[in-house]
Amino acid sequence: MSSADSPDSWAATAGRRPEWTLGVVNPPVFRASTIVHDSVAAMDAAGRNIDGQLYYGRKGTPTTWALREALTGLEPGAAGTMLFPSGVAALAAAILAVVRPGDHFLLPDSAYEPTASLAFGWLREFGVTPEAYDPLIGGGITALIRPETRLILLESPGSITFEVQDVPAITAAARARGVPTLLDNSWAASILFKGIPAGCDMVMQSLTKYVGGHSDALMGSVSATPALWPMLQRTAWALGQCVSGDEAALVLRGFRTLPVRMARHGDSALRIARFLDGHPKVARVLHPALPGSPGHSLWQRDFTGSSGLFGFELRTMRSAQGEALFCDPMRHFRLGFSWGGYESLIIPARAIRRLPQAEPAPLRFRVSIGLESVEDLIADLSDALDRV
């Protein structure tokens, strides 16, 4: 496949090198800890080039290399991709690749809660100073950059409140001051938005979500520019991060159908978002493709589509009773964390924010639209709205 092929054609075979697969369509599952070498010389030679050559199981096998190569192809300009046992592990390693005691670390106030907990809890204990910024700050981030700022995290759109960020403006401001940037690109799965071409130095995604796509595997990845790649790889290896061949094969299977699933997730979600937007009990729909959603014009400028994850707010204040009344009897939407799988999910969305908020929290939900019939999903939501 050449770069002139359409993304769908490329996704069908990405990472399938003949020397790794011997012609087998699905890269075989290598289960490996020990790899035996024919001689001391061969063992030493393998050790000198331990990436992409069988050496020891933790350094990977053709199954994990195939997945890594496919993921690198999603981010033009990336030098490589490392795999981690979860999205959170990927975020932690990417942060630790650059942040050191005494450094200042900027992250959006809409960051995924475990990311914020890592920054404001654990990293602070190691002498790092985290600071939350308004996700819609854009080029204004310059005013927050200090001499000791060592990393700016972006997440677009943000968790729970779905603010689309001005990624090119923030990365340009960061580059002007020599500060590396890390984008959590899980929502767009590096197909609706490409972070490296937008100026990011590292792009992570939770493969647990859209790339895996079947709610049966946890994994995360970080892709990096040539400048950041050695630091990222060194950190991942130093921390002993690796994934099994079995799980890499599951995620690679998801990868093959990522573009077609994403198109369906996006289309269904948009139709459902429009239904909610027109409903009298709904105060606001937080879907980047709808006008009125925070950062909508940036989504229009920078994204090629939308995924299946969005939020909505009712004209009612938040209460545990309202959440239960809405969610418990639902038939198609099941209560569960994570997203990006083929089954629709709902959670009461309780955003934790560090910056002061203008208004008290309304009754707010987050839905992950699966591959079921849109009519069934709308009927389920319509019944739920009738109940509250």
Ligand X SMILES: *Cc1c(COP(=O)(O)O)cnc(C)c1O
387 catalytic residue (yes or no): no
Residue 84 CB, shortest distance to ligand X, in Å, is: 8
**Identified binder of ligand X from the candidate list 61, 72, 159, 215, rule CB under 6 A:** 159
Q: Counting contacts by CB under 6 A, is residue 220 touching ligand X?
A: yes
Q: Does the footprint of ligand X cover residue 20 (CB under 6 A)?
A: no
Rounded to whole angstroms, the Cα distance separating 366 from 162 reads 10
d(CA 141, CA 170) in angstroms, rounded, equals 6
Q: Which string of DSSP letters, residue by residue, matches 63-101?
A: HHHHHHHHHHHTSTT--EEEEESSHHHHHHHHHHHH--T
Residue 88 binds to ligand X (criterion: CB under 6 A): yes
According to DSSP, the residues that pair with 133 across neighbouring strands are 108
Residue 221 as a binder of ligand X (CB under 6 A): the answer is no
Task: Return the residues of window 55-84 that contact ligand X according to CB under 6 A.
Answer: none
Round to whole Å and give the CA distance between 190 and 261.
Answer: 14
Q: Which of residues 335-364 bind ligand X (CB under 6 A)?
A: 338
Among 149, 156, 161, 186, binds ligand X (CB under 6 A): 186
The DSSP 8-state label assigned to residue 378 in this structure reads H
Q: Is 109 in the site for ligand X (CB under 6 A)?
A: no
| Contact call for residue 208 and ligand X (CB under 6 A) | yes
Q: Residues 16, 68, 194, 209: which is the catalytic one?
A: 209
Identified catalytic residue from 112, 166, 284, 380: 112
Residue facing ligand X at closest CB distance: 87
Q: Tell me if 236 contacts ligand X by CB under 6 A.
A: no
DSSP assignment letter at 22: T
- Closest by CA to 370, choosing from 350, 342, 331, 336, is 342
Tokens 């190691």 label which residue? 126
CB closer to ligand X out of 55 and 210: 210
274 is catalytic: no
Is residue 105 a contact residue for ligand X (CB under 6 A)?
no
Least spacing, CB of residue 142 vs ligand X, in Å: 25
Q: Quick one: tokens of 62?
A: 């053709």
Contact flag: residue 302 with ligand X (CB under 6 A): no
Could you say whether residue 165 binds ligand X (CB under 6 A)? no
User: Alpha helices of 165-244 — where are they, by DSSP H?
Assistant: 167-176, 229-238
Check binding of 188 to ligand X (CB under 6 A). no
User: Helix 258-277 crosses helix 374-387 at what angle (to 10 degrees)?
Assistant: 40
| Minimal distance, residue 91 CB to ligand X, in Å | 6
Amino acid identity for residue 164 in this structure: V
For residues 202 and 172, the answer to whether their CB atoms sit within 8 Å is: no
Active site residue 133: no
Residue 89: CB atoms within 10 A of its CB come to: 21
Angle 269-325-208 (CA atoms, 0-180°, nearest 5)? 40
Residue of 378, 356, 138, 358 whose CA lies nearest to 273: 378
How many of the chain's residues bind ligand X (CB under 6 A)? 13
Using the rule CB under 6 A, give the single segment among 46-54, 86-94, 127-135, 165-173 that binds ligand X.
86-94
Q: Annotated catalytic, 284?
A: no
Catalytic residues: 58, 112, 184, 209
Contact footprint for ligand X (CB under 6 A): 86-88, 112, 155, 159, 184, 186, 206, 208, 218, 220, 338
